Structure 1
Amino acid sequence: MDSPHFQVANDSHVAALLPLVRAYHEFEQIGLSEQQRCDAVLPLLSPDSQVGRVWLIFISQQVVGYVALCFGYSIELSGRDAFIDELFLVESARGQDIGKQVLEFVIRQAASLDVAALHLEVSRANNRAKRLYSQAGFLARDRYHLMTFKVASN
């Protein structure tokens, strides 16, 4: 298997990216409409986006996935932080160390973007992903419980 290579996604990649996002959302049982998905992804695709980046993942000239990094800020962690908000590989690309290489790439990119800390969420039942993230150096913050409040928009 060839090593993955990465390309920052821009608005010309929407047609390639959105089916991957839909597949990830189906896998994770995330219920967004096609329009909601598109509206959520577009702000990440401008070259000077202040909210994050998306990279398409290629093996041998074929798109096999994507990874989205979304920026925030943490007083506790003394600077810009970011969530690996979504990381998806098509089934045929899984189990081949590509995920490990994607994480190594994202960590390097985060450092170049002055990110002090990376976070991610993983399903409690997804042992394969938890093992991958642990091996890459991500630690569970058992002292904390991620909680979310969805603010209604007008």
Structure 2
Amino acid sequence: MIETVSKENLNEVLPLFRAYQEFYKVQDICDKRNEGFLSKFFQPSELGGQFLFRKENKAVGFATVYFTFTSTIISKVAILNDLYTQPENRGEGIGRELIEHCREFAKDKGAARLQWVTAPENNAAQKLYDSMGLAKSSWFFYTYNT
């Protein structure tokens, strides 16, 4: 089940967000700073949105969407900046469901597309993205038109 992150469930997302940062070897991880940052995406927010995936009443994944604009298509675009699933829940379709949810969120908010990048060595994520039939650049830049 996917739900919007809010003040009521933010504490469930924070450990996942920390694990995501650890995965990408972020230095100086600060839960208090993360809390302040993520609260900017509580709805309604023009900045974007954050979504939590719950399985058997436990938070097991999340995704964060940021809005920006691009001059190449003169339009608002949504950046899927964060996508994370607990290691023990990978391969269960959670990432795919979060991406689809973010795509609909982006479309509803008037974005022309949902796009993201991933680390070249993140082969597991690339396998998911490639299985979705998305456009892929030589920079591992993914685009999902809304």
TM-score range normalised by the length of the shorter chain: 0.7 to 0.9
Residue 152 of structure 1 aligns with which residue?
none
Moved segments of 4+, more than 3 Å: none
> TM-score, with normalisation over the residues of structure 2?
0.86
CA deviations over 1:55-106 (Å, ceiling 9, x no partner)? 1101222211111011101121231101111011111210122222222222
> TM-score, with normalisation over the residues of structure 1?
0.82
Please tell me the residue identity of whatever aligns with 1:57: F
- 1:144 Cα offset (Å): 9.4
After the TM superposition, which residues 31-42 of structure 1 pair with which residues of structure 2 at under 5 Å, given as runs? 31=27, 32-42=29-39
Residue 63 of structure 2 aligns with which residue?
67
After the TM superposition, which residues 11-26 of structure 1 pair with which residues of structure 2 at under 5 Å, given as runs? 11-26=7-22
Query: Residue 77 of structure 2 contacts residue 111 of structure 2 at CA under 8 Å; is this kept in 1?
Result: yes
Query: Residue 78 of structure 1 contacts residue 116 of structure 1 at CA under 8 Å; is this kept in 2?
Result: no
Please tell me the residue identity of whatever aligns with 1:56: L
Distance 1:135 1:77, change over 3 A: farther
- Correspondence 1:120 to 2:100: no
- 1:118 Cα offset (Å): 1.5
List runs of 5+ in structure 1 lacking aligned partners. Answer: 146-154
Larger gyration radius, structure 1 or structure 2:
1
- 1:107 Cα offset (Å): 1.4
Q: Which has the higher strand share?
A: 2
Mapped to 1, the partners of 2:101 and 2:11 lie a distance apart of: 24
Mapped to 1, the partners of 2:132 and 2:105 lie a distance apart of: 15
Please tell me the residue identity of whatever aligns with 1:107: R
CA deviations over 1:94-148 (Å, ceiling 9, x no partner)? 0122222222222122211111021212111011101211222432333799xxx
CA deviations over 1:8-61 (Å, ceiling 9, x no partner)? 11122221111110011111111232232222212112x221101001101222
Residue 149 of structure 1 aligns with which residue?
none
- Correspondence 1:104 to 2:100: yes
Mapped to 2, the partners of 1:28 and 1:143 lie a distance apart of: 18
Please tell me the residue identity of whatever aligns with 2:46: Q
Please tell me the residue identity of whatever aligns with 1:37: N
Identity of aligned residues (%): 21
**3-state SS of paired residue (1:38):** helix
**3-state SS of paired residue (1:12):** coil
Query: Residue 62 of structure 2 contacts residue 98 of structure 2 at CA under 8 Å; is this kept in 1?
Result: no
